[in-house]
Amino acid sequence: GGKGGIGVVRHAASVCRTLALILEGSFGPYGRDKVIVGGTGTLTISNHGSTILDHITVLHPIGRLITNAAQKMETVYGDGTKTVVLVLHETLQYLYRHLAMTRVDRVRVAKILTTIQASLVQNPSVGELFGPLVKSSDCGDRKAVVAVMQQLVATALAPSVHPTISNKLKSVTTTLLDQMWRGEGRAGLQEQLRIVQEAPPVVVAWGLGVSQSMACDGLLVDVEPQLFDNENNRLLPLEGDAKCAVLTFDVDDDDDDDPNDDVPALEVSSAAAYKGAIQHGYDKDHAILSALARAGISLVVSDQAVGRRLKRLLFTSRIAVLDNLRSKSITVLTTHLPQQSLHIPFVLASWFRCSRVSRVNGGACRIIQFETDDEYVCSAMLCAPSPSIANQLLTHFHRGIRCLNSWAGNMRMKRRHGGLSPSPSLPSLFSSSSSSLGKEAKQDPSSPMHLPGSGAAEMRLARAFQKLADDCSRTDRMMSLVYLALSKGFGSIPVSLQQNRACPPLRPSDEASRRKRLLRIRRQILLKGITFNHSDTRVIHPVEVKLAILAQVVGCLKAIMRIDGVHRSRSDKAQQEK
């Protein structure tokens, strides 16, 4: 309706939700202030000018564009916030013309269009604005609305939008380009689509101090880059080959009344979003989460204390901002480890590996808990090509570690009673002592080792690695070779270790247990291996990671074989070739 009024349109809830997804994703989480979908299928368009401008100008990349167009129109027509209604009208026109909708859907959208047009015509100022925008292709104001529409389409093609809507919009992109924009407009839209589709996810490390650029398993990370253009309120592209960015929060949990406490140290839009959320009745934690959602943040890494607080917030469904968080697919990573020992590359790489498959309910909030500190398992998670393989590898590495630890315990007992050399410890990933096991093992090559019952476990591990090598032979040749080498390494354990026991076959997992494993890895990923020095932030190439893992594990196996006194030159040569 009129200035400051509210227009209400009733129609099917499914079409409402479709429109809301597009518009809410484009206007930011506060899109419900503009397009509100009720449970009964009520679509409410808010014309509260100051409210709209306050929300859409903060943080969101499209906010500045809409604001500029609105202000430009305001100088001519008095109330520039009608731009929001006009953009909605353009969106509906686009849906009506280009989406492959059913006849019923077309009738519904046509009714909405009729209602909006009637509302626009009833308001004299909006009616004056509406005419030239629709009829004149050379009108500068129309170009402003078209620019907003470009942003709408680009946002709708972003990965965070519901797949059904995204697929429909992608399928008609060519038609849209041909029929609505030509020449420079077409090239501009193509560039906009390319930028959006290649836009990096933004990662926030909450309460963690990180100061250098890193690379983790092919995921290049820029730490503390200038991500936001504060003047134009938009995300900036990352420099170089970075695919992801880490921002840090400084959160002060003191009980004093310092107003600067608990304000995120983000150069996003100073603290505008934070203060705005406070004014709308949210407490400080919700205000920070709201600012993250509106900035397009996709991941929050926190320590244990903040993590407990976030858990309470994320599972409190009565807070409206949580719906916005869910729509933005924000993931919160927490850890029981001290802040200083949390190694960001491992956390990020593991999360990105798992997030590709383990999106629950279309991308609801996920909490992934890191509880243990075994570097081998963390390395396994880094190298696994999928969460299911990572979960299998996790189990098998646990078995292998238990076996090696048992062997080390036996060696300590033998050393006490038989005068053996000190027991070697498992090597640390990327440490200078990674070859210590082999060196110490050479000191006593003639001491036999008898590990009761270890043969079957080792052979199971060998078979498991063989299966993993087969599973990823097509997707990741490098890791297939690594798994194959591990299989040969465990499979070539001397016969004296196996004690002539029959090796039971690996029990094939049925569908139920497979689903349980997948659900378990979705809920909680137990990572081990985030405990080496916090200062060790040198850039590590992913191939170096995999080769280091291979060298260390095979080195352990060779040491075991040497201690047992059995030398198989053929198998050693095969391992070296691999």
Structural domain includes residue 33: yes
Structural domain includes residue 216: yes
**pTM (two decimals):** 0.21
**Structural domains of the chain, count:** 3
| Least reliable range by pLDDT among 78-87, 177-186, 326-335, 401-410 | 177-186
Asked if residue 179 and residue 211 are part of one domain, the reply reads no
Q: pLDDT tens across 397-432, in order?
A: 444 444 444 444 454 455 455 543 332 332 222 222
Closest CA relative to residue 357, chosen from 379, 333, 382, 388: 388
SS3 assignment, position 132: helix
Q: pLDDT tens across 433-487, in order?
A: 222 223 333 333 332 223 333 455 556 556 666 666 676 666 555 455 555 555 5
Looking at residue 397, its pLDDT comes to 44
pLDDT-derived band at 559, boundaries 50, 70, 90: very low
Asked if residue 452 and residue 477 are part of one domain, the reply reads yes
Structural domain includes residue 218: yes
SS3 assignment, position 512: helix
SS3 assignment, position 567: coil
Tokens 């983000």, located at residue: 266
Asked if residue 230 and residue 182 are part of one domain, the reply reads no
Structural domain includes residue 378: no
Asked if residue 211 and residue 192 are part of one domain, the reply reads no
Closest CA relative to residue 27, chosen from 1, 64, 2: 64
| Least reliable range by pLDDT among 139-153, 449-463, 517-531 | 517-531
SS3 assignment, position 335: strand
Distance CA 217, CA 543 (A): 8
Q: Which domain holds residue 166?
A: 6-197
CA dihedral over 314, 317, 320, 324, signed as positive or negative:
positive
The domain boundary residue, chosen from 337, 370, 403: 370
Q: pLDDT tens across 111-126, in order?
A: 555 555 554 455 444 4
Asked if residue 48 and residue 82 are part of one domain, the reply reads yes
Checking if the pLDDT of 577 tops 50, the result is yes
Asked if residue 157 and residue 114 are part of one domain, the reply reads yes
Looking at residue 470, its pLDDT comes to 72
The domain boundary residue, chosen from 324, 341, 370: 370
Tokens standing for residue 157: 């093609």
For residue 428, the 8-state DSSP code is: P
Structural domain includes residue 382: no
Closest CA relative to residue 184, chosen from 136, 235, 150, 233: 150
